[in-house]
Structure 1
Amino acid sequence: MIAIIDYGMGNLHSVSKAVERLGYEAVVTNDPERILAADGAILPGVGAFGDAMDNLKAANLVDTVLAYAASGKPLLGICLGMQLLFSESEEHGLNRGLNLLPGRVVRFTGSYKIPHMGWNRLSFKQESPLFRGLEEGHVYFVHSFHALPEVAADLLATTDYYQEVTAIVGRGNVYGMQFHPEKSGSVGMRLLDNFLSLSGAKRAVSQG
């Protein structure tokens, strides 16, 4: 079973449906026991960083997410959920994150269009089980802030938007995708499928 962590700010329906399309059982939940019992967990997110952390704290889910990461089972942050994995964000003032990955989330600055919205090509920086059977391709981004990992080994893939932009991060069993894999066609779905396969969960149904 794959837990989609519900703290009131996620793209829950589209993520859970994508997991189900790949043949896995998905449960949208804010119950710590169900989350900790899951084979894999996804932390989605849409909105502001500080509000998201406040919601996680109000739902008593910060310790749950940290305990899940410490369990060794695969955890994936998507979009804002990826940013929450980092130490801090400068969105609407300085806000502390989950600190699972050292680094800072900063706003795009420049005369180009913000938010960064649209399809951009991934550039793989190192080998990862997420990239199994996959060539570099385009995925769909919507974001005004981007992560700056402190540790080069945590940076798995980038894209180009007037600068090199963090697209995929990973350390051990903890992964993050800045884009929306569930909205990114075959490349996004393959990345999501490769993540789900790390959970060891059995597919509920065979893929058509």
Structure 2
Amino acid sequence: MSKKVVLLDYGSGNIRSGERALQRVGADVTVTADYDQALNADGLLVPGVGAFEACMTGLKAVRGDAVVDRRLTGGRPVLGICVGMQILFAKGIEHGVETAGCEQWPGTVERLRPQSEEPVPHMGWNTVDVPAGSQLFEGIEKERFYFVHSYGVREWQLTDARASVAPKVTWTSYGGDRFVAAVENGPLAATQFHPEKSGDAGAELLANWVRSL
């Protein structure tokens, strides 16, 4: 039986490309902002494109922050993508404006600081440094993934002592600037890159997630 996945439609994100990518890997996908459907699905995918503050405003308007928190309290899987990953952290700072996030993880989303002449946004394909034992990247540890962003989490602040399950953090670098590319932390997982735009490697990552539901 196909796993039921809700792709949360809160006004921000690559909804249709995300929907097609999940369908490609065999998920039964519903695109909705409905609280009960989002709460009760096998998996919840939270997309996100644009500014941190705008995404948080849209998320709260559909009670998305509450449904994420309630799902995680019950051990039910959630996957965030791009800004949908960033808003899981404590706060974001853009153009001097600080916005509170969902606070599922401590940490700050801030502008990238490449040390060489690379432009911001970081746009294009990049390799990632995957920790041992990753389920999300199983079989695709050496692949490249597609990034489009100007902001990221440059310091991981959750210690093992504060985590119920030791998190697995995947990193990457752009112009010498190191930032979090993905996190696996119990039922909560997220990627800074776009798996739905990352070809076969991205499809396999989504398949790994769907199989885990």
With normalisation by structure 2, the TM-score equals: 0.89
Does the aligned pair in 2 maintain the 1:2–1:41 contact within 8 Å? yes
Change (3 A) 1:82 1:194: same
Unpaired runs of 5+ residues, structure 1, are 200-208
Give the whole-Å Cα distance in 2 for the aligned partners of 1:121 and 1:182.
Answer: 16
- Per the alignment, residue 11 of structure 2 pairs with 8
- Per the alignment, residue 149 of structure 1 pairs with 156
- Per the alignment, residue 204 of structure 1 pairs with none
Which string of whole-angstrom CA distances, capped at 9 and with x for unpartnered residues, describes residues 12-58 of structure 1? 10001101011111000100100111000100000100111111112
Give the whole-Å Cα distance in 2 for the aligned partners of 1:114 and 1:154.
Answer: 28
1:160 aligns with 2:156: no
| Equivalence map 1:81-160=2 (5 Å) | 81-92=84-95, 93-110=97-114, 111-147=117-153, 148-151=155-158, 154-160=167-173
SS in 1 for 2:31: strand
- Per the alignment, residue 202 of structure 1 pairs with none
Aligned residue pairs, count: 199
Identity %: 40
Unpaired runs of 5+ residues, structure 2, are 160-165
Moved more, 174-183 or 54-63: 54-63
Give the whole-Å Cα distance in 2 for the aligned partners of 1:154 and 1:85.
Answer: 14
SS in 1 for 2:141: coil
Change (3 A) 1:126 1:94: farther
2:205 is matched with which residue: 180, 191, 203? 191
Does the aligned pair in 1 maintain the 2:136–2:184 contact within 8 Å? no
Give the whole-Å Cα distance in 1 for the aligned partners of 2:208 and 2:106.
Answer: 24
- Per the alignment, residue 206 of structure 1 pairs with none
Which string of whole-angstrom CA distances, capped at 9 and with x for unpartnered residues, describes residues 157-182 of structure 1? 11121222211112111011000001
Runs of 4+ aligned structure 1 residues displaced above 4 Å come to none
With normalisation by structure 1, the TM-score equals: 0.91
Give the alignment's Cα RMSD to 1 decimal. Answer: 1.4
Give the whole-Å Cα distance in 1 for the aligned partners of 2:123 and 2:139.
Answer: 27
1:56 is matched with which residue: 59, 69, 77? 59
